[in-house]
């Protein structure tokens, strides 16, 4: 029998590129957390000032989020992720030259501008390149890769700081970002039909491609109303996620008086648990949908279960000092929390598959607002009380609120013709 070399489908390669995007950009978000102590000493910052620098990322992230997904829907993911990907790379390199609080905050601000449309625009791309039954898996595996980036980054940053200093790590991050942008622009096309390697059989399984000659008005108001409960849920999820992403290395470093290497390893261990949660959350959600045909069960039930588990496992952090128990509890909490992300990011694709970029940008607005408030609040509470566990109580509270608002989501009801405006007639030439 002749040997036939296996070749991945174009949709799988697109998904791989998006996975790498999530890995790289989440690495860019958390690298500053591992280097936080060195940066604080080098730039003479307080914990509150450092929290402000952390949160500077989220101000533009929240604002640009409002139209970032819309740009992806209107202009296309190929160009948007190229332009903003280069912005991310530039911000990373400039961070290496920060000389004080305001220059550091400005670099994080620019990073927030660059990353703001990424997840929404990638969701828009996935809604065109992947069939409905793979949405949960796709969101799960992409976010799992983001946690791979979060898990790998602390020990890598610690190693680079041992060999050189914290500034070298940010230069390297910028170089990696540029390499991804080149690969994306070369391979990706906004519609699968435009890609020379996509067969007619593969196209038949995908959503109907958009006719670029046809002008379609994005139903902004209707999408905002439908996505508002999802935005609140995303805010509640993201509040706790930002605690993990920005303060966890410092928590181990200062609360347990570890060295940098040990705190980085413990942080990585927590993020590894998140990788498993991301992957399982998407897989479980898709399986529930295939078995029941109910998007309500596939999305809502997994989200509620994940949030409830996370708040239960955060409880020991408030009352127990033993490192082994606290580390295990944080791993379990992060695992449960990450069960949420794949079904949550599938909801915009369920509600508005043709406008998934805009819908997911409205949802991810909650992530951006939480990114402003959560790191700053954590730093302020620590400076005022010296209590490193008290901010986790706020996380438990927000998770309760998130569970309540989950019941107002309606993933099983896609945006109707009555809710969305009709197509605008294409302009004609005389």
The angle that helices 135-163 and 341-351 make with each other, rounded to 10 degrees, is 130
Average pLDDT over residues 117-129: 84
- Using 50, 70 and 90 to split pLDDT, how confident is the model at 73? confident
Q: Which domain holds residue 360?
A: 10-194+219-406
Does residue 412 lie in a domain region?
no
Asked whether residue 197 carries a pLDDT value surpassing 80, the answer given is: no
The region of weakest confidence among 3-12, 130-139, 284-293 is 3-12
Lowest mean pLDDT among 94-103, 248-257, 329-338: 248-257
Q: How far apart are the first and last CA of the chain?
A: 62
Average pLDDT, the chain: 82
pLDDT value for 424: 41
Which of the pair, 244 or 2, is modelled with greater confidence?
A: 244
How far apart are the C-alpha atoms of 283 and 411, rounded to whole Å? 17
The pLDDT value recorded for residue 123 is: 83
CATH number at residue 393: 1.20.1250.20
In a domain, 160, yes or no: yes
Nearest C-alpha neighbor of 85 from the set 177, 16, 22? 177
* Average confidence (pLDDT) over 290-308: 91
In-domain check, residue 430: no
CB contact set of 421 (below 8 Å; sequence gap of 6+): 217, 219, 222
pLDDT at 418: 52
Q: Are 339 and 309 in contact (CB under 8 A)?
A: yes
Provide the sign of the torsion angle of the four alpha carbons 289, 292, 293, 295, taken in this order: negative
Q: Where are the beta strands (DSSP E) in 55-134?
A: none
Tell me how many domains the chain contains. 1
Domain-located, residue 416: no
In order, the DSSP letters of 4-40 are: ------HHHHHHHHHHHHHHHHHHHHHHHHHTHHHHH
Q: Is residue 246 part of a domain?
A: yes
Domain presence at residue 384? yes
CA atoms lying within 13 Å on the CB side of residue 392: 23
For 122-126, 248-252, 379-383, 388-392, which range has the lowest pLDDT when averaged over its residues?
Answer: 248-252
Give domain status of residue 417, yes or no. Answer: no
pTM, entire model: 0.71
**57 within a domain of the structure (yes/no):** yes
């Amino acid at each position: 029998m002749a040997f036939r070399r296996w070749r991945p489908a174009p949709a799988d390669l697109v998904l791989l590129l998006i996975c790498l995007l999530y890995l790289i950009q989440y690495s860019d978000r958390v690298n500053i957390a591992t280097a936080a102590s060195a940066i604080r000493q080098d730039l003479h910052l307080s914990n509150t000032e450092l929290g402000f620098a952390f949160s500077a990322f989220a101000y533009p992230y929240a604002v640009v989020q409002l139209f970032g997904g819309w740009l992806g829907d209107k202009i296309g993911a190929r160009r948007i992720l190229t332009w903003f990907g280069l912005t991310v790379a530039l911000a990373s390199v400039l961070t290496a030259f920060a000389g004080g609080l305001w220059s550091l905050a400005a670099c994080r601000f620019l990073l927030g501008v660059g990353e703001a449309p990424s997840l929404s625009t990638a969701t828009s791309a996935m809604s065109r390149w992947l069939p409905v039954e793979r949405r949960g898996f796709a969101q799960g595996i992409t976010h799992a890769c983001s946690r791979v980036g979060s898990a790998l980054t602390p020990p890598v940053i610690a190693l680079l700081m041992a060999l050189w200093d914290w500034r070298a790590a940010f230069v390297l991050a910028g170089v990696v970002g540029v390499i991804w942008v080149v690969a994306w622009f070369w391979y990706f096309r906004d519609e699968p039909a435009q890609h020379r390697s996509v067969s007619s059989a593969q196209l038949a399984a995908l959503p109907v491609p958009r006719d670029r000659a046809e002008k379609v008005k994005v139903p902004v108001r209707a999408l905002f109303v439908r996505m508002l409960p999802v935005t609140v849920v995303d805010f509640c999820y993201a509040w706790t996620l930002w605690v993990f992403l920005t303060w966890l290395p410092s928590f181990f470093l200062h609360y347990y008086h570890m060295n940098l290497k040990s705190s980085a390893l413990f942080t990585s261990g927590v993020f590894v648990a998140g990788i498993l949660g991301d992957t399982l959350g998407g897989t479980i959600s898709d399986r529930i949908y295939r078995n029941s045909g109910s998007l309500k069960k596939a999305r809502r039930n997994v989200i509620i279960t994940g949030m409830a588990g996370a708040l239960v496992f955060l409880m020991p952090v408030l009352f127990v000092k033993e490192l082994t128990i606290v580390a295990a509890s944080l791993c379990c909490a992060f695992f449960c929390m990450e069960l949420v992300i794949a079904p949550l990011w599938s909801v915009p694709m369920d509600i508005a598959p043709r406008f998934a970029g805009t819908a997911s940008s409205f949802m991810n607005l909650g992530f951006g607002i939480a990114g402003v408030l959560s790191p700053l609040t954590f730093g302020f509470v620590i400076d005022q009380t010296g209590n490193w566990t008290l901010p986790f109580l706020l996380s438990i509270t927000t998770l309760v609120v998130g569970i309540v608002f989950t019941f107002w989501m309606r993933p099983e009801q896609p945006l109707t013709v009555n809710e969305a405006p009709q197509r605008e007639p294409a302009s004609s030439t005389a």
